[in-house]
């Protein structure tokens, strides 16, 4: 079995990952892809086919969303979609092979964007149960 004693000239040890964070983000990206399919199918079933023959109206969908189960389902769909999308953006940006400080900044900016987007989306879902948003805009 051959071993590599020296890295090729175009690679430097500074660019090699210091942890297995990339492995976990890759793995979670695959899990969220599968969960997205499940959550999207469940969401479409609930909003369009739960009551056969019923006309789809805002009032009908609002009535279904008043159940905590559907609020949780849509919240999970939102969180999964945000993570999957922003992690994909992160992976594309990281492909430009920038220095570790910029990668860290990109990760933090995307994390903040994800949290703000999730809170904004949750602010749109919660009124269906409570009758008022978390944060009045």
Q: At what angle do helices 68-94 and 100-125 cross, to 10 degrees?
A: 160
Q: What is the pLDDT of residues 42-78, one digit of tens each?
A: 888 887 777 777 787 888 777 777 888 888 888 999 9
Query: Minimal CA–CA distance to 114: which of 67, 64, 80, 137?
Result: 80
CA distance 103 to 78: 25
**Residues 47 and 56: beta-carbon distance below 8 Å:** yes
pTM of the model: 0.76
**Residues 29 and 88: beta-carbon distance below 8 Å:** yes
Show me where the domains of the chain are located.
Answer: 23-130
**Domain 23-130: top CATH class:** mainly alpha
Position 84 scores a pLDDT of: 96
């Amino acid at each position: 079995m051959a071993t590599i004693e020296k890295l090729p000239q175009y690679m430097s040890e500074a660019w090699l990952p210091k942890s297995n964070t990339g492995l976990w983000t890759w793995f979670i990206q695959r899990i969220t892809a599968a969960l997205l399919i499940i959550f999207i199918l469940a969401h479409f079933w609930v909003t369009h086919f739960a009551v056969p023959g019923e006309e789809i109206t805002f009032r009908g969908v609002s009535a279904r969303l008043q159940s905590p189960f559907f609020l949780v389902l849509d919240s999970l769909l939102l969180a999964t979609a945000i993570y999957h999308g922003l992690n994909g953006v992160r992976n594309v940006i990281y492909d430009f092979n920038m220095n570790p400080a910029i990668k860290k900044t990109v990760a933090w900016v995307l994390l903040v964007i994800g949290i703000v987007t999730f809170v904004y989306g949750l602010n749109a879902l919660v009124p269906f149960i409570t009758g008022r948003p978390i944060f009045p805009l």
